[in-house]
Chains A and B, each alone.
Chain A
């Protein structure tokens, strides 16, 4: 005769208690009720005050104003926009301008940041000191200070268009901005782009196939000649068949200003310069820390396996460093995007400047406009942190396996 294990007692009450009140039990539930009451009271005060204040100022709450005509111009637009467009279009124009300055800034910041990090890690004493001075100087000055410095001091000191500084006769810098050649599409553009896209897709597929072959059968396939054929060869052949895809229109000095080419407004130049040099200092520190975090034994182990220095770096050191580098790096990208809102100080037409600035002062719809502006940034950071948590999950999975 065997004694059966008794069933554990019913834990439902305990579980509910835990769920509702945490470790504090029923006390926790009481605390929550009090907290909810206080929150409710604050919410009530805010809503009733806001309603009364809006009534006093004769402002109609709601998002109806988005359909009204904006009636002001924006000096840099990626989509067509005139003063008779709606406030909603201003919103979209602002978001696009924010995104374009962020993306350009991120590219430059990454490049400069990696260069500075390499300088700091360099065995050359002078270079590492220069990198250190750069990082200390840039990190200890406010970003707004740097934006204003570039905009009010450096760019304002540039000559007028007639005395523009010429960069190899192709691009010109003056106090009205940077004038660069603009590409103009020709008849061959469509096939050219299609072939380029096809080449990129084919190269990606080839890379995927080569990796599978490497991991499953241990077969090494050299893919770069094929990739080169796909990405460079295919478009070249289409160019020969269908004609030139685009030509560059060069800027010409006509009278007091330039004709032809496209103008990058000085606000954009100043903002990009400041954002990318500022963020680069932080990226440099992250990259340096990441590379230093890989134990020197890894390098030695690689060379004892007979790998060359380059191969060891590429296959052993960099992947491990990237694991440390990527999360704070994305954080810096996010910071750069948020910092691009300082554009309002110099009048670059980003989201905050045209929407939370000009539109707000014209309509007075403070609650809606600021909520929408904050919402955009919040959405960007939530998406980024979502992507990063997927990345972290993949990393921990690959480590745990």
Chain B
């Protein structure tokens, strides 16, 4: 037996400590590994630092250090009065702030704008936080109730009738149009080469018109009768409530299961009644503020929110149409989408401003803002359709087939199984579209609407504030507002995307 400790290859004394490895984490590590690790990188770092030096420092000097903060007119922002090279002229923004936010909205009525903004924020914030409950109710309030309330709040005015009167009048217009089309066909049939065909079609159309006339006669008779009574709106309201609630009751399952539907329908109508009463809509409502007085951030927000609310249903309908197997509907959807996606938004706005009024009956004048809104809704709708289509394509076929195996109809399969999953998939894309929509709203300033950018441009021409730094100050202010909105939305879209892909992260 030998003693192993005595053998020659066992070390008897402790080895000297080696130096610690080079630190690769923390600030020093960052400097070492990412900034100064090679001659090229050192050069690039110096170049980058120089670039920052020549952009950040002047910007900060302009915005804060050299800025003028108080004053009443341009003289405060001139270098000879201030005694130094003047940067941003903030008094100019202070003076123009109401114009940049409200446009020429009457000062006494501005609380309405503020109230509408507060309502929008109160409804939108819970919708954006995934953890909060009652998303359906919330979405319904934001997408359906809020636009109507906001319209009466911002524009003012009241209502003369309710569901019954509106339905009756709309059907009457439709009927008139069909009858007149029939008359035109009949008059053409006297001269045309295909006279017999035209005569037959014309008579058929006239017949349809007459049939509709008699079909809607009870409605129109009821409407005329109600108009005679003193409380026409409330009578109309009661009849509409009863009618719609009955339909909902029977569609919801009649005596066996319709109670819930009936209750929610009546609750909705009571809410509507409260809103009507609260805003005094039956007695003319708030004083009307014409849209040519609107301006600034108000118009930017109105255009983008309306675009968001209207483009989504258009987009969903077009996306479903594009995937439909019925040839005409598919071809129409494809042509519609590709047309609007192929042209620039500015030509769409020109179309809406100059061509749309020609397409409407002569006695029917459309507000300039509404025209732009129609153009933007169609344009954005086509883009949203492509987003939604991406989501629909991502749903496995098995989902639809399983629903069909359960005996669900196409409508139920689409609305209960396919669309909810598809829409959840494409929320980030939808939000990205909304960002570009928000940016694109600035284009309405070209068709003589004064949004934030338009108001800003208009304010440049005020001689009271014309200084060398006015333009830069204005752009800095508007840029900060646009950036905050867009950056916020893009961060939110990233957040949703990460949440949706949580299962894919390793």
Instruction: Give the B-binding residues of A (Cβ under 8 A).
Output: 19-24, 28, 31-32, 35-36, 39, 41, 44-46, 48-50, 52-54, 56, 122-127, 130, 136-137, 139-145, 148-149, 152-153, 156-157, 338-339, 341-342, 344-345, 352, 356, 360, 366-367, 370, 373-374, 377-378, 381-382
Minimum Cβ distance to chain B for residue A54 (Å):
7
Q: Cβ of A377: which chain B residues have Cβ within 8 Å of it? A: 342-344, 347
Minimum Cβ distance to chain A for residue B271 (Å):
33
Minimum Cβ distance to chain B for residue A346 (Å):
10
List 12 A-B residue pairs with CB atoms under 8 Å apart, sorted by A's residue number.
A125-B30, A125-B34, A130-B51, A140-B486, A145-B442, A149-B479, A152-B475, A153-B472, A157-B472, A352-B350, A370-B354, A378-B342
Minimum Cβ distance to chain A for residue B494 (Å):
11
Q: Cβ of B325: which chain A residues have Cβ within 8 Å of it? A: 22-24, 28
Count of chain B residues near A, Cβ 8 A: 65
Cβ-defined contact, B482 with A140, below 8 A: yes
Cβ-defined contact, B439 with A49, below 8 A: no
Q: Cβ of B354: which chain A residues have Cβ within 8 Å of it? A: 360, 366, 370
Name the one of A23, A45, A124, A130 contacting B52, with C-beta atoms under 8 angstroms: A130
Interface string of B463-506 (1 = CB under 8 A from A): 00000100110010011001100110010000000000000000
Q: Cβ of A366: which chain B residues have Cβ within 8 Å of it? A: 354-355, 358
Cβ-defined contact, B482 with A145, below 8 A: yes
Minimum Cβ distance to chain A for residue B411 (Å):
12
Cβ-defined contact, A140 with B483, below 8 A: yes
CB-CB under 8 A for A141 and B486, given A124-B34, A345-B445: yes
Instruction: Give the A-binding residues of B (Cβ under 8 A).
Output: 30, 34-35, 37, 41, 44-45, 48-49, 51-52, 177-178, 180-181, 184, 324-330, 332, 338-339, 341-344, 346-347, 350-351, 354-355, 357-362, 410, 435, 439-443, 445-446, 453, 457, 460, 468, 471-472, 475, 478-479, 482-483, 486-487, 490
Name the one of B37, B181, B341 contacting A44, with C-beta atoms under 8 angstroms: B181
CB-CB under 8 A for A374 and B347, given A142-B442, A153-B471: yes
Cβ-defined contact, B342 with A373, below 8 A: no
Q: Cβ of A153: which chain B residues have Cβ within 8 Å of it? A: 471-472, 475
CB-CB under 8 A for A152 and B457, given A50-B358, A53-B358: yes
Q: Which of B181, B344, B410, B445 has the most CB of A within 10 A?
A: B344
Cβ-defined contact, B41 with A31, below 8 A: no
Minimum Cβ distance to chain B for residue A334 (Å):
9
**Given A23-B325, A142-B453, 11 extra CB contacts under 8 A:** A22-B325, A28-B326, A126-B44, A141-B483, A145-B453, A153-B471, A341-B346, A342-B443, A352-B344, A356-B347, A374-B347
CA distance A367 to B441 in the complex (A): 24
CA distance A123 to B32 in the complex (A): 12
Cβ-defined contact, B332 with A35, below 8 A: yes
Q: Who on chain A is nearest to B485 by CB?
A: A140
